[in-house]
Amino acid sequence: MTHILFAHNDRKAFSGCGKQTLPFGKPETSGEDIRPTSRPVTEDTAVTVRTAQAVTVMQRYEVKYVLSADQTVLLRERLRGHMEEDAYGKTSIASLYYDTPDRRLIRMSVEKPDFKEKIRLRSYGLATKESPVYLELKRKAYGIVYKRRVQSTIPRVETFFSGRNDICSEGQIGREIRYCRDFYRDLVPSCLIIYDRTAYYEPGGDLRLTIDENPRYRAEDLALDVSMEGKSLLEPGQTILEIKIQDAMPLWLAGILSEGKMRKSSLSKYGEAYRRQMAKAQ
């Protein structure tokens, strides 16, 4: 398959690709909820979530819902017999978003264009200078989410953004991440998003589902090795449901959503944090 690097901010160039050529290879059956691994990450290590190895390539539809406490209880009950909680249980995840000093990436994202992208550094639990972290490029095009990521450490990522080293391989994944850094230039830590996630998988299938509790953000102390504290993004008891699918949503899951009167949401954690920061500044 021919791989394509999207023309940044060139919507005409992007729209000309058409849905059939939105590249990035064969869709993977896993999500971004892979926990740390000591195995080096390369382009050919993309595997399913049940192997607990690093995923570098992801392509899927993602649908979000903001649930009340009662809706969350109902959902967990109805999932029994259909999906299983992954072996890691509830895990605290922190994502440090990088942006230009004038917040160019998030400003474009909240306008909800056909194509948008974010670059972030993710850890599972409180990171250290030596623990594995994951530099991830996330793009969304015509409703489909594409992700590329590489495993590294905090010091190496810091020097990568300063232009003093290169943590990426020479393959497609490395080229895309490096191109994003070089295109935007001066990318700096902008916002830290933290939440407590429980991931579910469908045995023998591609369906993935996550429930995020206590989503919170921090606009200061922007480092993954400081703390897991932050200001709440939702009302007490509310959670964020994300359904990650390769094709159509199964009827049994659609039935649960209908029974619980669960409505789709366009909530972006980073976008909501940005709005709150802008409202506070006014």
Query: CATH number, domain at 229?
Result: 3.20.100.30
Q: Tell me, what amino acid is at 157?
A: V
Assigned domain for 48 exists: no
CA distances from 12 to 15, 17, 104 (A): 5, 9, 19
Three-state secondary-structure class, residue 217: strand
Is 130 inside any structural domain? yes
Which residue shows structure tokens 């897991």?
228
Percent of the chain's residues with pLDDT above 70: 79
pLDDT top residue among 180 and 59: 180
Q: Is the pLDDT of residue 14 over 80?
A: no
Could you tell me if residue 79 is inside a domain?
yes
pLDDT 10s digits, 76-116: 999 999 999 999 999 999 999 999 999 999 999 999 888 99
pLDDT band at 59 (very low <50, low <70, confident <90, very high): confident
Q: What is the pLDDT of residue 56?
A: 58
Cα–Cα dist 149/130, whole Å: 18
Is residue 112, in this structure, part of any structural domain at all?
Answer: yes
For residue 160, being part of any structural domain is answered with yes
Q: Check pLDDT > 80 for residue 42.
A: no
More confident residue, 271 or 171: 271
- Find the domain containing 216 and state its range: 64-134+150-281
Task: Kindly report the average pLDDT of the chain as a whole number.
Answer: 82
Residue 265 has pLDDT above 80, yes or no: yes
User: Residue 201 domain-assigned?
Assistant: yes
Q: How confident is the model at residue 271 (pLDDT cuts 50, 70, 90)?
A: very high
- Predicted confidence (pLDDT) per residue in 112-166, tens digit: 888 999 999 999 999 999 999 999 999 998 888 899 999 999 999 999 999 887 7
CA 282 → CA 22, 135, 190, 192, 234, distances in Å?
A: 39, 32, 18, 21, 21
Number of domains in the chain: 1
- Would you call 159 helix, strand, or coil by DSSP? helix
pLDDT-based confidence at 10, cuts 50/70/90? very low
Which residues 6+ apart lie within 8 Å of 133 measured at CB? 121, 122, 123, 127, 151, 152, 153, 154, 157, 224
Asked whether residue 116 is domain-assigned, the answer is yes
The pLDDT assigned to 28 comes to 33
171-222 pLDDT per residue, tens: 788 889 999 999 998 999 999 999 999 999 999 988 999 999 999 999 999 9
> How is residue 203 written in tokens?
């045995």
Instruction: Report the pLDDT value the prediction gives residue 175, as an integer from 0 to 100.
Output: 86
The reply to whether 47 falls in a domain is no
